[in-house]
Amino acid sequence: MRKALLFVGASLISVAHTAYAQEADQSEGVTDIVVTAQRRAERLQDVPVSMTALGGDSLKSRNLNDLTQVALAAPSLQVGNDNSFAIRGVGTQAFATTIDSSVATALDDVNLGRPFLTQGLFNDVERVEVLNGPQGLLFGKNASAGLLNVVSTRPKLGSFGSETNLELNNRSTPGSDAQAWSVIARQTVNIPVGDTAALRINGTYSVEEPGTNFVGTGGVRNDLDRKQYGVRAKYLQEITPELELYVIGEYAESHGVAGIYDRTYRALGEGSVNEAPLAASGIVAGDKNFTFAGDGGYWRNLKLGGAQASLSYTADSGLVVSNIFAWKFYNFDAQLDTDFTNSNGANINYSHADYDQFSNELRVALPAGNRLTGQAGLYYFHSTIDQRSQIAGNNYLPDFLLPTFPFCVGAAAVPGAFPPTCSVSNDYFLGRDNRYRMKTESYAAFGQLTYALTDALKLFAGGRVTRDEISIDLDQNRGAYFVTLGVPGAIAQSYGHTDFSWRTGGQYQLARDAMIYASYGRGYKGPGFNDTGATATTSLLVKPEKSNTAEIGAKTSWFNRRLVVNASLFHTKFKNYQTQSLDTQLQSFVVQNAASVISKGVELTVNANPFRGLSINGSATFLSSKFKDFAGAECYPGQTDASCATSGSFNAGGKRTPTAPKFTSSLLASYEFQTDGAVHPFIEGNWYHRTPINYLINQAPGATVPTTDLIGASAGVRIDNGMRLSIFCKNCTNEYNPNFIGLDSGDAISGIATYQQQFGFDSVRTIGANIQFRF
C-alpha cells in the first residue's frame, strides 16, 4: 500500500480586508480573525484545521452575494453542476435529493440537509468559513469532503442600529442588443428590548436579469429573471447572567431560472437530432453561445424557511451546556424545456418536492481555559422528502403522430382500420416519470477533547458514532410513452448503517507566532438511494461514502504580524465515492459508488499589511484529485477504450475527478488613503486564476474549460458617519467562463457528442455601484 505524506493546515485568514468596518488598528498588522471551526470561538491562527474564513465586510467589499461566489476567494472550493460544491476536487457531482452532499452546509450551528436550503442571498453575515477536508465530529451530520459554515450576526444588547445596503449593476449579455440589469437591496435593524434582550430583523429583495439571451416562443410561462426576497428575525434573551435563549425564524422565496437552468449549446456532434431545431431557432452552438430557446416554458419556484431555538447555560466554572432544536423546510416547483429549442424534443422537465427536517443537538463544553478542554454531545436528525418529476417530449416529431399508428402504447392497432388506428395512445413519444417518499433518521453521539501536555504542546482526539436509517417508496413510469426511459414499477427499500468517524492529532507552539500541527482522521457520509430503478427488483441503495485524511500544517506570523503565512499539505482517500453518471442502458442518470478516489495537495495563504492602509491577501491550492479505481464509469461518445465498444463503460482509474483543477489562486489588494477628514477614499483589485477544469467523470474533451482569469476592481469612499459608496466591476475583462459543461443526454444515448453549458452571473462582465448606510 502506497505510503503517503499527509498534511494539513492553513486557512485563508479571511481576507482580513481593510475596508470600512475594520475597527482594529491596521498599523499593528493583520487583524486577528475569530472563527468557530471547532464550535467554540478561537483565533484562526490557533485552530489546527485547514480553512478559509471570509468576514462579512470582505464579502461586501468583493460583492460576493451568495455561497457560489465564495469560490472566487477560496481556491480549494469549486462550484459544479446545478451549483453543487466540491472541496479539494471532491463533491457529490449529483444533484439528487435522495443523497447527502459530500460538502455539507451549516447555518448558525444547524446542518442543512439538502442543497436547496443553502440558496439565497447573503445578508447580515458575520463570516463564512470553508472547512477543508472531512468534518465528521462537530457539525451535525457528517461531511466526507468539507463544510461551508455560515455564521450570521447575533442581536446586540442595548444598542439600536440600522444598516441599508443597495447594489445596482449592469451585466453584459452576448448576442442581445440589451444589457442585463440587477438590483439587490438589503436591510437590517437591531432593536433593544429592555436591558437583557434584543431583536434583529433582516430583509432582502433582489431582481437579477440573466447574462444569457432568450429567443423562445411566447404563449407559455417563462420566468427568466432571478427574483429573491426573504426575512429573518433573531431574538436574543439573557434570562439570567448564566442562562441565554436565542431564537431564529426565517422565510424566503426564490423564483426564475437565470444562472441555474438557462443552458446553451456549446458544440453539436455529427448527426445531432438538435441540429435542425437549433437552426430553426437561429442559434449557432459555440463556446461563446449565450442564446437559448424554448416553447415548453421555463420557471422555478422555491420557498424555504424554518425556526430554531438555542438554550445555553454557562456555569461559574466555565462549563457550558447547550441545546439547539431546529426545523427547516422547502417547497420546490420547476418546469424546464430540456431541449432548449423552439421545437418539442423534450419540452417537459417538471419537478415538485416538499422537504422537512428536524434536528436536536445537546452539547456539553468544558471550560476553555483548562488544561483539558473539549466537548461532547448527542445529535438527532429526521427528514422526509416527497418528490415527483417527469421528463417527456416528442423527440422533434410532429404532435399529430401521437395518437396514430405505429406509435401505439400498450395495445395493438385496431383491426380493420386503414390506415391502422391505436386503441391506446401515448401522451408523449418518449419520457419517464417517478414519485417517491424518502425518510431519513440519524442518531449520533460525539466528543472531542484537547489536552495540553505542556504550555506549547497539545494533543487532541475525538470520535463520533452515527446510526443512519433510511427508507424509500418509489413508483416510476406510470405515464404513456412510445419510448419509456426506464421501466415501470414500484420499489420499496430500507437500509440501516452504523459508523464510527474520528480524528486525532496534535499541535505545537514553536514560538508566540508560529504553530505547527498534524492530524489523521476518518470522514463519513451517510447512505442514500437512486431515484430511478433499472428493474422493479433492482437495489436502489447507494452505500455510505468514507474518507481517510492525513494533514500537516503550519500557521505563522512575522514582523509584528504584518505578514501571515499559513501552509498545509493533505492526503485523502475516499472509498465508495458517491457520484452520478448517465446509464445508457437505463437511459437515465443514476448515482453510484465509485471504487476509490485519492485527493492530495498543498494549500497556501499569505496575508500582509506592509503599512497602514494597505492590505494584500493571497491564497493558492495545488491539487491532485484522481480516481484510483472506478470500474463501470460511463464512456463518452467516441471514446476509444476497448471496453467502450462492448459495454459502454470503462475503468476511470487515473482520471482526474470533475471540478479538480491542478492549480487555483485568489489575490486581493486594497488600499485606503490615510486622510485627516471624515472621508476616506479606497481602491481595490482582485484576481482569480484557475488552470483547466473538466466537469465530467470520463473527462470528455468537450467538457473542458480552459485556463480562467477573472479580474475585479472597486473604488469608493468610506465616510465616518457610517456611509460607504463604491463602484465596481467583476470579471472586468469579460472573460466568458461557463459554470458547467455536460453532454446532451439524448444525443449521448445515440453515441453523439453534443455539449451544453451553463453560464452564471459571474460568467460575463458586471459593472455596478454599491451604497451602504449605517447608524
> Where do the structural domains in the chain lie, given as residue ranges?
26-774
Which of 330-333's residues contact partners 24+ apart within 8 Å by CB, and which partners? 330/114, 330/116, 330/117, 330/302, 330/303, 330/304, 330/305, 330/354, 330/355, 331/301, 331/302, 331/303, 331/304, 331/355, 332/116, 332/300, 332/301, 332/302, 332/303, 333/299, 333/300, 333/301
Helix (H) or strand (E) holding 59: helix 56-61
Which amino acid, 340?
Answer: F
**Which of 639, 601, 637 minimizes the C-alpha distance to 622?**
601
pLDDT at 505 over 90: yes
pLDDT in tens, 181-205: 999 999 999 999 999 999 999 999 9
pLDDT at 23 over 60: no
Averaged over 597-613, what is the pLDDT? 94
Question: Distance between CA 187 and CA 196 in Å, rounded?
Answer: 24
pLDDT in tens, 100-114: 888 889 999 999 999
Spell out the SS3 assignment of 151-189.
EECCCCCCCCEEEEEEEEEEECCCCCCCCEEEEEEEEEE
62: confidence class by pLDDT, cuts 50, 70, 90: confident
1 vs 306, more confident: 306
The pLDDT > 90 percentage for the chain reads 68
Helix intervals (H) in 72-148: none
pLDDT value of residue 414: 65
pTM value is 0.91
Alpha-carbon distances, residue 757 vs 271, 299, 442, 634 (angstroms): 19, 19, 37, 19
Strand-strand pairing, 103-107 and 146-152: parallel
**Under 8 Å between Cβ of 355 and 407:** no
Question: Distance between CA 446 and CA 177 in Å, rounded?
Answer: 58
pLDDT at 6 over 50: no
Tell whether omega for the bond before 406 is within 30 degrees of 0, i.e. cis: yes
Question: Distance between CA 10 and CA 13 in Å, rounded?
Answer: 8
pLDDT value of residue 45: 85
> DSSP for 594-628?
EEEEEEEEEEEEEEE--STTEEEEEEEEEEEEEEE
Length of the chain, in residues: 775
Positive/negative CA dihedral, 122, 128, 132, 137:
negative
pLDDT at 639 over 80: yes
pLDDT in tens, 722-772: 899 999 999 999 999 999 999 998 898 889 999 999 999 989 999 999 999
pLDDT value of residue 407: 66
**Which of 15, 125, 144 minimizes the C-alpha distance to 74?**
15
8: confidence class by pLDDT, cuts 50, 70, 90: very low
pLDDT value of residue 595: 81
449: confidence class by pLDDT, cuts 50, 70, 90: very high
**CB-based burial of residue 324 (10 Å sphere; 0-12 exposed, 13-18 middle, 19+ buried)?**
buried
Averaged over 60-64, what is the pLDDT? 86
pLDDT at 19 over 50: no
Averaged over 474-494, what is the pLDDT? 87
pLDDT value of residue 623: 97
**b/e string for 182-193 if b means 16 or more Cβ within 10 A?**
bebbbbbebbbe
405: confidence class by pLDDT, cuts 50, 70, 90: low
Phi, psi values for residue 568, rounded to 5° = -150, 155
pLDDT value of residue 357: 97
pLDDT at 319 over 90: yes
Which amino acid, 578?
Answer: Q
pLDDT at 46 over 70: yes
pLDDT value of residue 532: 82
Helices (H) and strands (E) in the chain, counts: 4, 44
Specify whether the backbone of 754 is left (phi greater than 0), alpha (psi in -120 to 50) or beta: beta
287: confidence class by pLDDT, cuts 50, 70, 90: very high
pLDDT at 418 over 70: no
Averaged over 460-481, what is the pLDDT? 93
pLDDT in tens, 679-724: 999 999 999 999 999 999 999 999 999 999 999 999 999 999 889 9
Radius of gyration of the chain (CA): 27
pLDDT value of residue 209: 93
Question: Distance between CA 19 and CA 772 in Å, rounded?
Answer: 13
Phi, psi values for residue 103, rounded to 5° = -105, 110
CATH no. of 26-774: 2.40.170.20
Question: Distance between CA 156 and CA 199 in Å, rounded?
Answer: 8
pLDDT at 41 over 90: no
Averaged over 391-412, what is the pLDDT? 72
pLDDT at 664 over 70: yes
Alpha-carbon distances, residue 207 vs 78, 277, 333 (angstroms): 25, 31, 19
**Under 8 Å between Cβ of 767 and 170:** yes
pLDDT at 227 over 50: yes
Phi, psi values for residue 154, rounded to 5° = -80, 155
pLDDT in tens, 581-590: 656 555 556 7
Strand-strand pairing, 633-634 and 649-650: antiparallel
369: confidence class by pLDDT, cuts 50, 70, 90: confident
Quote the longest CA-to-CA distance of the chain. Answer: 98
pLDDT value of residue 208: 95
Averaged over 161-174, what is the pLDDT? 94
pLDDT value of residue 543: 92
Question: Distance between CA 428 and CA 431 in Å, rounded?
Answer: 7
417: confidence class by pLDDT, cuts 50, 70, 90: low
Q: Is 459 in a helix, a strand, or coil?
A: strand
pLDDT value of residue 16: 31
Question: Distance between CA 166 and CA 722 in Å, rounded?
Answer: 14
**Which of 129, 120, 111 minimizes the C-alpha distance to 56?**
129
pLDDT at 547 over 70: yes
Question: Distance between CA 272 and CA 750 in Å, rounded?
Answer: 9
pLDDT value of residue 15: 30
Task: Find the angle CA(413)-CA(418)-CA(422) to the nearest 5 degrees.
Answer: 25
pLDDT value of residue 480: 81
pLDDT at 304 over 80: yes
Tell whether omega for the bond before 419 is within 30 degrees of 0, i.e. cis: yes
Averaged over 488-496, what is the pLDDT? 93
Helix (H) or strand (E) holding 643: helix 642-646
94: confidence class by pLDDT, cuts 50, 70, 90: low
Q: Is 221 in a helix, a strand, or coil?
A: coil
CA dihedral 121, 123, 125, 129 (to 10 degrees): 10
Question: Distance between CA 682 and CA 713 in Å, rounded?
Answer: 11
pLDDT value of residue 25: 38
The pLDDT > 70 percentage for the chain reads 91
